[in-house]
Every structure is written in C-alpha cells, then in structure tokens.
C-alpha cells in the first residue's frame, strides 16, 4: 500500500516527514498546495499531487484536509503523514475528524509492525503506540528525524482538481502582517539569542536585541516573558512556542523548564548565561557563564564590537 504525505511549500520540516513516511513502506505520494519548492523525487516521492487553487494557497486548514481526503479515497494509502508544524498538525486534526480515526502526533519512528514512537510531555518521555485504524494519521516531531535523500528519479507531477466546499473555506488566511522583528525567522536562524525572566523587563531586551543584531541572530524568549507582555508570542521558544534548531542557542536568564527545553533541544550547542549555578538549564547546556546577565551580555557585545570594528 502507498503512503500520502502533506508537503508544505518551502517547509524544510516536510522533507523530514517524507523521510519518515518512506519507512512505512510502499510508494510515497505527496500533496502540495502550490509549488512544493523542493525536488521531492530526490527524497523518494514517486508522485506529487499539486493543488493549484488560489483559494487554498494562502492556507485554509479544512480545505487542505478535504484535498487530502479526496486523495485518500483515490489512492487508498495505509497512512497520511505531515510535519509536526502548527499547520501540519491542524490539517491532520481536520482529516482525522473527517474520517473518525485516531491521530498520532509528534512521532519519530515507525516499527515494522506499524507501531509508532511518539515524543510526549514536552520531550520528557517516549511512548510506543499502536494505532488501531486501517488508515494511520501521523505527524512527525520537528527536528527529530533527518531529511535524507535516496537514489530516485524525478517525481511525477499530477495536478489535483479538488472539489472544495465553501464551508471548508470559512477559516483561511486572507492577509500576512509582518512583525517588526520579522527580519530573521526564529525557526530557521543559525543563532538564537533568547531571554527569560532574568532579563527583568521589556526594556531589558534591548541588550538581547543588540547581541542578536551583531550575531545576525533571531531573538527568542521564554513563556514567562510572553505572559508578562515583554515580547510577542511569536518569539516564544518551547512546547507551546516555536521549536528551534540553530547551530547556537544562547539562553540568557532562562531556568530551563522542560517545556522550554522542548523547544530548543534541537540546537547543536547551547550556551547558558545564568546567575544560578544550580539552574536546570545547565544540564542541557554545552557551555555556561555563571553570573549576572546584565554584566555578561554587554561584555560579550563589547568584545564582538571590538573584534569587528
Ligand atoms: C503546559 C505548559 C506549557 C508551557 N510552554 C512553555 C513554552 O513553550 N516555553 C517556555 O519557555 N515555557 C513554557 N512553559 C512555562 C515553563 O514551565 C516555565 O515556567 C518557563 O519556561 C520559565 O521561564 P524562565 O526560565 O524565563 O523563568 P524562571 O523559571 O523564573 O527562570 C529565570 C531564570 O533567570 C535566572 N536569572 C535571574 N536573574 C538573572 C540575572 N540577572 N542574570 C542571569 N540569570 C538570572 C534565574 O536564576 C532563573 O534560572 C509552559 C508551562 C506549561 C505548564
């Protein structure tokens, strides 16, 4: 039997989803709303079904799920897979509700008997789960599965003329508003400078922004910071925020709660700056500077300026 993957155009995490989907066996089909933005054949996709409908291209979760459902009826796959992004999880949630079948989110592996390994509780435990359904609906935990290529030819591209019900278009993106800090995407930045309660105030983020600017980095923060209104929710890293995987994650005044670590454990290196030598983040950090961040961060910034100018 085949496998169907939802590919979000330009979304690197979708390639990780395709790689896991190959482990389910059978030919891999993909649905992309618009140009997928990647040569999916190199990742083992045999057929890409492209839905080119202007009403869908800016995102409409129920309508995307309707497209998937029409392909499920046509192809009869054993599983539908998507990246565990906000959109991937939302569309699969719609699909599961439409088919009245279970949905296993945040999977990182599939066994030969079809059971899955899922990341639960913000990454603090792994669960082995059996999905009691002929159609398995699976999202792939971000940055936990490597996107690998295979020796395959190009994927066959087939246009999908999906029949879309107006009711499925009630929720859709109609406009994109850029945030003031939208220069470097938090999810894709190579370096993230993140601040927690220890930064002390919204104004305190001035020094975090200055350091981030010098490093060409994105600014992140903990949930305490967004709850206090010091930074927008779009900057939040963690279980209920963005999951990041930079080369370097600099955590300033962040204690390292499991819900925060769930969002930054994909980083190659973590540097913690914290006044508490017993802070939990030190267990996850590769490097640490113990001290007052209001002295340490400006000192790093000053050294960087000296080195550059
Ligand atoms: C369901 C659920 C989901 C959640 N999702 C998220 C999430 O997505 N992201 C997230 O971040 N949290 C999340 N949380 C909240 C999480 O549990 C923590 O409360 C939060 O991460 C703590 O934020 P913090 O580290 O900034 O603050 P604190 O835990 O208060 O830590 C502040 C740290 O700053 C240090 N510090 C203080 N002053 C200084 C100074 N001058 N110099 C240096 N260090 C200093 C302290 O030693 C301390 O380690 C979630 C919680 C729940 C229940």
Q: Which of 159, 138, 163 is nearest to 69 (CA)?
A: 163
Contacts of 151 (CB under 8 A, 6+ apart): none
Q: Where are the beta strands (DSSP E) in 65-224?
A: 79-83, 103-110, 116-120, 125-129, 136-140, 156-159, 191-195, 218-221
Q: How far is the centre of ligand 1, averaged over its atoms, from the C-alpha of 185 (Å)?
A: 22
Q: What is the pLDDT of residue 307?
A: 86
Q: What is the pLDDT of residue 201?
A: 97
Atom of ligand 1 nearest to the CA of 225: 26
Look at residue 164 and give its three-state secondary structure.
coil
Atom of ligand 1 nearest to the CA of 221: 11
Other beta carbons within 10 angstroms of residue 140's beta carbon come to: 30
Q: What is the pLDDT of residue 97?
A: 98
Q: Which of 182, 172, 165, 185 is nearest to 58 (CA)?
A: 172
What are the residues facing 82 on neighbouring strands? Answer: 6, 139
Q: What is the pLDDT of residue 182?
A: 54
Contact indicator for 213, 269 with CB cutoff of 8 Å: no
Q: Which of 75, 74, 138 is nearest to 107 (CA)?
A: 138
Look at residue 278 and give its three-state secondary structure.
coil
Q: How far is the centre of ligand 1, averaged over its atoms, from the C-alpha of 293 (Å)?
A: 15
What are the residues facing 139 on neighbouring strands? Answer: 82
Atom of ligand 1 nearest to the CA of 238: 8
Six token digits for residue 90 = 């939302």
Q: What is the pLDDT of residue 114?
A: 83
C-alpha to C-alpha distances, 212 to 8, 15, 204, 287, nearest whole angstrom: 29, 29, 13, 18
Which residue is closest in CA terms to ligand 1's atom 47?
A: 276
pLDDT in tens, the chain (309 residues): 999 999 999 898 999 999 999 999 899 999 999 988 779 999 999 999 999 888 898 899 999 999 999 999 999 999 999 999 999 999 999 999 999 999 999 999 999 888 999 998 877 789 999 999 999 999 999 888 999 999 877 899 999 998 899 999 999 998 887 666 557 889 889 999 999 999 999 999 999 999 999 999 999 999 999 999 999 999 999 998 998 999 999 999 999 999 999 999 999 999 999 999 999 999 999 999 999 999 999 999 999 999 876
Contacts of 185 (CB under 8 A, 6+ apart): 218
Q: What is the pLDDT of residue 180?
A: 60
Burial class, 247, CB count within 10 angstroms (exposed 0-12 / middle 13-18 / buried 19+): exposed
């Amino acid at each position: 039997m085949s496998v169907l993957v939802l590919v979000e155009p330009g979304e690197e995490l979708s390639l990780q989803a395709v790689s896991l989907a190959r482990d389910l066996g059978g030919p891999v089909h993909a649905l992309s709303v618009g140009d997928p933005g990647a040569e999916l054949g190199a990742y083992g996709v045999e057929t890409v079904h492209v839905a080119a409908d202007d009403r869908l291209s800016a995102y409409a979760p129920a309508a995307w799920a309707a497209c998937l459902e029409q392909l499920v009826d046509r192809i009869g796959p054993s599983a539908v897979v998507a990246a565990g992004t906000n959109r991937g999880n939302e569309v699969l949630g719609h699909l599961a509700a439409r088919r009245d079948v279970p949905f296993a989110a945040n999977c990182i592996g599939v066994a030969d008997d079809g059971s899955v390994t899922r990341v639960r509780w913000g990454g603090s435990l792994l669960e082995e789960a059996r999905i009691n359904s002929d159609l398995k609906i699976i999202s792939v935990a971000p940055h936990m599965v490597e996107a690998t290529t295979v020796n395959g030819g190009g994927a066959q591209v087939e246009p999908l003329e999906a029949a879309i019900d107006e009711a499925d278009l009630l929720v859709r993106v109609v406009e994109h508003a850029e945030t003031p800090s939208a220069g470097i995407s938090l999810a894709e930045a190579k370096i993230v400078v993140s601040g927690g309660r220890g930064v002390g105030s919204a104004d305190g983020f001035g020094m975090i922004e200055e350091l981030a600017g010098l490093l060409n980095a994105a600014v992140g923060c903990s949930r305490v910071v967004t709850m206090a209104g010091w930074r927008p929710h779009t900057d939040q890293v963690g279980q209920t925020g963005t999951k990041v995987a930079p080369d370097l994650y600099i955590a300033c005044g962040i204690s390292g709660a499991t819900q925060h670590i769930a969002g930054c454990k994909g980083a190659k290196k973590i540097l913690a700056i914290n006044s508490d030598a017993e802070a939990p983040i030190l267990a996850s950090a590769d490097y640490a500077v113990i001290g007052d961040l209001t002295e340490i961060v400006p000192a790093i910034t000053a050294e960087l300026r000296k080195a550059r100018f």
